[in-house]
Amino acid sequence: MPEDFSIVSLIDRAVTASDDRTTSVAQILQALGRNSFAPNLLLPAVAVLSPLSGVPLVSTFCGCVIALVSAQMLVGRDHIWLPQVLMRRKIATARLRQVGETMKTPAGWLDRITRPRLRFLSQMPFAVVPRMICLVGGMVMPFLELVPFTSSIIGAVVTLLGFGMLARDGLFTLLGLLAVAGLAGGLIWLLG
């Protein structure tokens, strides 16, 4: 893992994006960097894994962000664009910081175990596969909101894939791909 990279530092940047009572998506995006696709893909996925996913429309919102960021990664944009309706969305800063503190323990663990492995899984042309899976996962999340907390399953897959992209650790990409295969197998078994 690059020396200047850590999930804990990303969380710190996101939760300190604003000193106001609320923090907008635009402020978080600016804190992470408009050309930082992987962190901007990872944070909404982690949010869907957190207790925030139980709040109505959070999974839908996060799914839309994941789909938009993934699509832009696929077409090779050099910076992120999100519609103003998403950029203006706000969360209470105190709630954002509370969720950030909750996520720091697992994030610190991930920081300690990450290192460059199976790098070909995070490089082109293979990198198209996890990006496509993230796009589809983001598009499916709004429909999963009908059954509370089911979007967290897709959030876990996107988190693994996004973390693999961010840390350039192909082991996490491989785990995400295996999770997708398991989900597909389970769905086929249920429907078959």
Q: Write the DSSP string, 80-114.
A: ----HHHHT-EEEHHHHHHHHHHHHHHHHHHHHH-
Given a contact cutoff of 8 angstroms between Cβ atoms, the answer to whether 119 and 168 are in contact is yes
112-156 pLDDT tens trace: 888 888 888 877 888 899 999 999 999 998 888 887 777 888 888
Contacts (Cβ under 8 Å, ≥6 apart) of 12: 100
How many other β-carbons are positioned within 10 Å of the β-carbon of residue 85? 9
- Greatest Cα pair distance, the chain, in angstroms, is 53
Q: Share the mean pLDDT of the chain.
A: 84
Helix residue ranges, H only, the chain: 7-15, 25-32, 37-49, 58-75, 84-87, 93-113, 128-144, 151-167, 170-191
Contacts (Cβ under 8 Å, ≥6 apart) of 22: 90, 91, 92, 93
Given a contact cutoff of 8 angstroms between Cβ atoms, the answer to whether 159 and 133 are in contact is no
> Taking the model in full, what pTM does it have?
0.78
DSSP state of 5: -
Sequence length of the chain is 192
Q: What pLDDT is attached to residue 117?
A: 86
Model confidence at 35, pLDDT cuts 50, 70, 90, reads low
Give the pair of three-digit tokens for residue 18: 């604003």
Contacts (Cβ under 8 Å, ≥6 apart) of 94: 21
